[in-house]
Amino acid sequence: MSGANGTLFDTGAATHVGKVRKQNEDNFIIRPEIGLWCVADGMGGHEAGGLASAAVVEALRALEPPATPAGLLAACEQAMIGANSGIRSIASARGFEVIGTTVVILLMADGYFACLWSGDSRIYRVRAGGIAQITRDHSEAQELIDQGLLSEADAKTFARRNVITRAIGVFENAELDLQHGEVEPGDVFVLCSDGLTAHVEAGEIPPRVMKTKAQDACAELVRLTLDRGAQDNVTVVVVGYKQDGDTLVIPEGAGNGARG
């Protein structure tokens, strides 16, 4: 895709059920033609989580190409409000006690990025060989870390490390955080469900995404997760921001959300 400022996106995506779960309740959508990428990790069991994450993807698939970047951000926020309501209606109609989904959304246009998220799926930015976590987990473990009551190391074995404090569909109102900033040529963004971060350290990501085609990087990160046991579904989306003239590959099916 060629952006308005002469840039290109190299996009890849991969998802796997993992080695323990029977259903893949992750979903993703890649729409580089409008500068939008998303990963959603469903929760609820009995395939309910898959319904929730699919509702998020379908809401984003329905978005029309925006007139402005601000318009796209506003449309995404409204889509998540609608998805939140729709998921709650599904839960009520089917008698589910808890159904919801985490979501991370990356938007890019005109040399800027914006991240919207709810839950503990993550977005990382790899720049000049270093990595920064753009999102901040909405989880009990992160709250205790912020209060100085739990260390990062202890959080990895914390009994309630998987308990999240926000998710689309769980509460009456959709709660999303926003982070934004400038993009530099060569930046690579990694969106992932917690199936990846449970097995792969942040520092292991840069060498697997730098100077590598996005689709190959996704495959390598999923393969690494599987090699380490893949206790959960795992989904990875990689987005490289490049200058015109670089050799890029947009995977077949880009813009079509998929769930394994």
Fold category of 7-243 in CATH: Phosphatase 2c; domain 1 (3.60.40)
Four-residue CA torsion sign, 115, 121, 126, 130: positive
Q: How far, in Å, CA of 242 to CA of 230, rounded? A: 31
Sequential pLDDT tens for the chain (260 residues): 334 333 589 999 999 999 999 999 999 999 999 999 999 999 976 678 999 999 999 999 999 998 999 999 999 999 999 999 999 999 999 888 889 999 999 999 989 999 999 999 999 999 999 999 999 998 777 667 667 776 676 667 665 767 789 999 999 999 999 999 999 999 999 999 999 999 999 999 999 999 899 999 999 999 999 999 999 999 999 999 985 544 333 333 333 343 33
- pTM exceeds cut of 0.75: yes
| C-alpha separations of 146 from 29, 98, 151, 164 in Å | 31, 27, 9, 15
CB distance 144 to 156 below 8 Å:
no
Spans of all domains in the chain: 7-243
